[in-house]
Amino acid sequence: MRVVFRLLRSGGLVVAISMAACGVVLAQASPPPQAAAKQGTPTQATPKEQAAPNDTAAESPEVKQIALTEKQIEGVISAQKEVDGITDKLEDNAEPDAKMIAALDAAVKKYGFASYDEYSDVVDNINLVLGGVDAVTRKYVGPEAVIKAQIAAVEGDTKLPAKDKKAALDELNQVLKVPPPAITNGANIDLVMKYYDKLISTFDDEQD
């Protein structure tokens, strides 16, 4: 399972949204790439990709939920630039080959991870939390509330072209149809929020 985190900027409002509930990707900032080879699905194999919305809501993909540690979160923040340097070489919709997976394994081991699979699981769980954070109030409100806030922001954006507004609303409403996975490790929320600024800065830097 690969969770994708995006920020949607509309009318000056920046709200975090998780695509953990489905494979739909919205614009702007990207999260750490996930283990495409492990999952066997090329969609969203790189943080530069965008997946088109589906006509019908897909079932919520499962996340291997784990209890996060500060060491793991700090490891993701530290490893992100090096991981990006490797995965940026992938073409859109391409899966990393064995050589790249080996390079990713070697890279993340420097930061305390046993493998890129473990690193990806940690990223998944971080993004589960980030997807439920209202970036304005900086509080965890759950992904459904975040998506609804984004819908309201887009609807109220008078500067957004009608075509773009319709596309954004279509995607957001599609995401809303898919029940988000519940976080089973409640302590992860407080831990991720402790590193919220660093994580958002890391993901924004990845876009630059």
What are the pLDDT digits (tens) for 101-137?
999 999 999 999 999 999 999 999 999 999 999 988 9
Global pTM reads: 0.70
> How many domains are contained in the chain?
1
* Strands 139-140 vs 133-134: parallel, antiparallel or unpaired: antiparallel
Q: Are strands 5-10 and 13-18 parallel, antiparallel or unpaired?
A: antiparallel
The string of pLDDT tens digits covering residues 137-172 is 999 999 999 999 999 999 999 999 999 999 999 999
Q: How far apart are CA 208 and CA 202, in angstroms?
A: 10
Confidence of residue 28 (pLDDT cuts 50, 70, 90): very low
In the predicted structure, residue 62 carries a pLDDT above the cut 90: no
User: pLDDT at residue 5 above 80?
Assistant: no
Q: What is the predicted pLDDT for the residue at 48?
A: 34
Q: What is the pLDDT of residue 92?
A: 77
Distance CA 183, CA 18 (A): 13
Residue 58: CB atoms within 10 Å: 13
| Per-residue confidence (pLDDT) for residue 208, from 0 to 100 | 53
The dihedrals phi and psi of 71, each to the nearest 5 degrees, come to: -60, -40
Look at residues 98, 85, 78, 68 and name the one whose alpha carbon lies nearest to residue 33: 85
Distance CA 121, CA 127 (A): 10
Per-residue pLDDT averaged across 14-36, rounded?
Answer: 36
Residue numbers of the domain that contains 129: 5-207
Over the stretch 183-204, which tens digit does the pLDDT of each residue have? 999 999 999 999 999 999 988 7
What pLDDT was estimated at residue 144? 92
SS3 string of the chain? CCCCEEEEEECCEEEEEECCCCCCCCCCCCCCCCCHHHHCCCCCCCCCCCCCCCCCCCCCCCCCCCCCCHHHHHHHHHHHHHHHHHHCCCCCCCCCCHHHHHHHHHHHHCCCCCCHHHHHHHHHHHHHHHCCEECCCCEECCHHHHHHHHHHHHHCCCCCCHHHHHHHHHHHHHHHCCCCCCCCCCHHHHHHHHCHHHHHHHHHHHHC
